[in-house]
Structure 1
C-alpha cells in the first residue's frame, strides 16, 4: 500500500525527480534540545492549559531509573515539535482489520453531526463498498461527511466510485492530483502524498493508525489467534490502530482541516466540528501531524525517544528503510546496553522496499540489535514502545518517504499502563515471528544480496 503500488509510469516520474534535487532530514541532537527545553512541558486539558506546577505534578511519578523520565522527555518533545501534550483521554488499542473496521463503523453509525475521514487508500471492493455505503447513508440522514483521499493511493480506483459518494452529497477532496489539469492552486506536487489514516466523528471520537480501507483487512492476521491459518490466502494484514476519546480529538480535527484548506479546496460546510471537550480518561497524548516542508515533528519525536532510551526499544514496522541518523541512533542504543528489537516483514506488498530494508540488517545485527520477521501475514503496523512508558501508533514508517515526502499522523501516549498493552502486543508479534541471526544472515545467498544492493540505490524514494 505504497507509492510503488501505483502504475509503473509514476515510479519512473519519481525516479527522474531524483535527478533534480534531494531534500534532507534535520539533525536531531538530544543534548542541544535539552538546552532549549523548558523546565516543564505544556499540558492542555478540557479546561485549558495547565499551570507549569500542575503540569510537573501530573508527570511527577517517580519512574524507575531504568526508564525514560517522562517529564524530561515530554519537555524535550515540546521544544522539538512545538506540539503540547493533551490530558484526559481514553485510548483503545485496535489490532487487525475486522476489529478496527467494526469499531470505526460503529462510530460512524452513531454519528449525529459530522464525519471527517482521511485515508491513503480507499479501494472499491467489498469492504470499500460497505464503508462507502455507510458514509452515504449518514450523509442522507443529515450528517455532514467530508473525505480526503490520496490520488496516488487510489490511482487504480474508478472515478465513478467517488462520484457516487459525491452524488449522495458527500464532500470529497483528492489530495495532490496526479493529473496536472486537476490541480487547483497549490502546484503539481505528485511526490508529496497524504499517507494519513484518520477518522473523526462528531469531534468526539478519533481513529488513527495504519489501516486503510481495503479488502486486505477483511480477514484477521494470526495475531492472538488460537488456531494457525493454513496458508497465506487465509490471512489478513497485521496492523495497529487506536481509538481516542477526549480533548485530543480536537487536535486531530485541526490536522484534518489544515490538510483540507491546504489543498485549496472549497470551504468545509457548516457543522459542529469542535464541541466542548470533556475528560474521557487518564491518558496523556500528543497528536503529531507532519507534512512535506514542515517541521519534521514525528521524525524528531521518534529520534529523541530512541536517543534517550535506557532499557528497551521495541519497533514494529511495515516498511523499514532507515536514514543514516535513525540507523545510527538504533546502533548507538544497542551499544549502550538498551535492548533493541525489531519486528519486520517476512513478506511484503513491495519487494523493492523489502529488500532495501534488509540491506541494513548486517550493521544492526553486528551492533546487537535483534531482528524478527513476522510469519505468514503481511505486516503493515507502525508502532514503537520505548522503556515500556513511551508509545506511538500511527501511519509513519521508518523511511525517508514517510519522514520527508508524506503527510503523516502519529499518536504518542505517555505512561506505563498503555505501554504495557503495547509491550504485550509486541511479545505476541514475536511469538508469530522468526528471528534473523547474524550467522544465518551472513549465510544468505548471492541472489538475495544482489536484490538488496539494487534496492538500496532507491531507498531515498521508496
Structure 2
C-alpha cells in the first residue's frame, strides 16, 4: 500500500474510555503510537492562518470573457454578490485571503450545471464529446476496462479518427488493474496517452514519485466546456442513487456495499473558467513530460455563457501547501451562519477539526454528511475516530444510507460552494493532485443546499449518546484504521 501521513494516536480510546496499560487495547495503542511517531516527519500540512493581515492586500481579480476587469468593476460585482446573500463576512474575510493564497482569478459570465450520479453525468459528457470539433483533454484517476470504460474508449477513438485530437492523462495507480491492451487501442488510434507517475520507475520521465497521485477528474472539450467533480470512469456508476431501485426498504440500508448505487456530484461548466482548467491540464502534461501536444485551439475566444462567478483551484504535491486546503480553511474560518459538508473520505487533520469546532462555538450551524458504507474500509473507520470530539462540540453528523457516497462538496453561508475531487483526508491534502471549483452566489448556493437536504433526508443522524455506547469491536476497527491510514 502507498505511504501516507496522519496525526498521532490519541492517549484515549475514542468515546472517553481509558484502558489499562496491560490490556490488549493499550498494546494496540502503543504499537499505533510508536509506528505513527516514527513516520510523523514524513509529511506535514502547513498551518494556515486565515486571520493573517496583509500589509498590501492584493485586490480580488475577476476575469471576464474579454480579459481582466477593472478594479471598480470587480468591486461592483462582489458588492452585488454580498448584497444578495445572508449577513456574512465571508466575502470580506475570505476573498482577500483566497486571492493571496490561490492567485487564480475569479471568472465571470460562467454557466454552471450541477450533475448528480453516473448516468446523468456520463450522458452529459458523451453529448459534449460527440459535439467536439477541435480537441478533447481528459484527466482521470480510474479508467476501468468495463462497459463504461469501453464506451468512453469508443467515443474518444471515434472523435480521434474524425480529426479531433484527444489527449488523456491517466493515473498509474488508479488504472493499475486496467490492461495495457486497453490503452494500446487508444494510442494505436492516435490518442496521446500520458501515464501519471508510473508505478514502474523504468517508464517514469519526470522522476519517480509513486506516492504522488493524480486524483483529478477533468474533461475539457474544445476549450469551451469542462466537467469536474468526483466521478471516475467505471461501471460502478452505472446505477444512480436517485433511481427507483435504490428507494425501497429504507433505501436498502443493509444491501452489500458492492451492490449499492454510487452517489456523486459533478459540475458541467461553460465560460471563462474553462481556460483556467485548461491551464491546469496542460501544466500537468508538461510537468510529466508527455509528448508534445498537437497544435490545437486550446484557448479559444469565449463568449459569456451565464452569470456565475467561479474560481478554478488546482492543488499539487509540488506546491508549498495544498491550495485547496488553504482555501477550505479560510472559508470555514469566515463562516457566519452555516457550514454544510458532504465528503466520502472524512479523516481530516486537527487544524481542520479545530475550524469546525470553533465555527460551532461562535454559533454557526455545522453539519456533516459522510458514508454509512464505503469502498475504503480503513479510511472509513479512521475517520470515525473524529466523531466524538465533533459531536461533543455540537457538530451534527449524518451517515448516508442506501448509496455508496463518493461526494466531495461544501456549502458555506449559502453563498460559497465548492465541488471537486478533494477528499477531507491527508492523501488529498498532501499527496494528490486535485481540482475543485468554487462558485459564489446564492442562486447556485440554493441548489447546493437543496442537494444537501435531499442527502440528509436519506441519512441517519449519529448522536453523541449513541456513539458513546458503540461496541468494542467498532472501537477496535477505528484504532486499526487510524494506524493504517499512513499507508493508504
Task: Give 1 or 2 for the bigger CA radius of gyration.
Answer: 2
| 1:159-190 Cα shifts (integer Å, max 9, x gaps) | 11111111111100010000111111x21100
Matches within 5 A, 1:23-422: 23-33=43-53, 37-38=57-58, 40-61=59-80, 62=83, 66-70=87-91, 72-184=93-205, 186-222=206-242, 227-228=247-248, 231=255, 235-294=260-319, 295-422=321-448
Q: CA RMSD in A?
A: 2.1
Distance in 2 separating the partners of 1:102 and 1:70: 35
Distance in 2 separating the partners of 1:408 and 1:3: 17
- Segments of structure 2 that go 5 or more residues without pairing to the other structure are 4-34
How far apart are 1:277 and its partner, in Å? Answer: 1.6
Secondary structure of the structure 2 residue equivalent to 1:55: helix
How far apart are 1:235 and its partner, in Å? Answer: 3.8
| 1:245-281 Cα shifts (integer Å, max 9, x gaps) | 0111011111000000010111111111111121111
Distance in 2 separating the partners of 1:338 and 1:156: 44
How far apart are 1:3 and its partner, in Å? Answer: 6.5
Change (3 A) 1:299 1:98: same
**Match of residue 11 from structure 2:** none
Distance in 1 separating the partners of 2:265 and 2:50: 28
| 1:20-57 Cα shifts (integer Å, max 9, x gaps) | 9512111111211565633x411111111111111100
Number of aligned pairs? 449
How high is the TM-score relative to the length of structure 2? 0.88
**Match of residue 7 from structure 1:** none
Change (3 A) 1:27 1:19: closer
Distance in 1 separating the partners of 2:420 and 2:85: 27
Secondary structure of the structure 1 residue equivalent to 2:433: strand
Distance in 2 separating the partners of 1:250 and 1:28: 28
Distance in 1 separating the partners of 2:350 and 2:50: 16
Distance in 2 separating the partners of 1:35 and 1:314: 32
- Segments of structure 1 that go 5 or more residues without pairing to the other structure are 5-14
Secondary structure of the structure 2 residue equivalent to 1:181: helix
Q: Which protein, 1 or 2, shows the higher relative CO under an 8 Å CA cutoff with sep ≥ 6?
A: 2
| 1:55-83 Cα shifts (integer Å, max 9, x gaps) | 10011132556334425422221012112
How high is the TM-score relative to the length of structure 1? 0.93
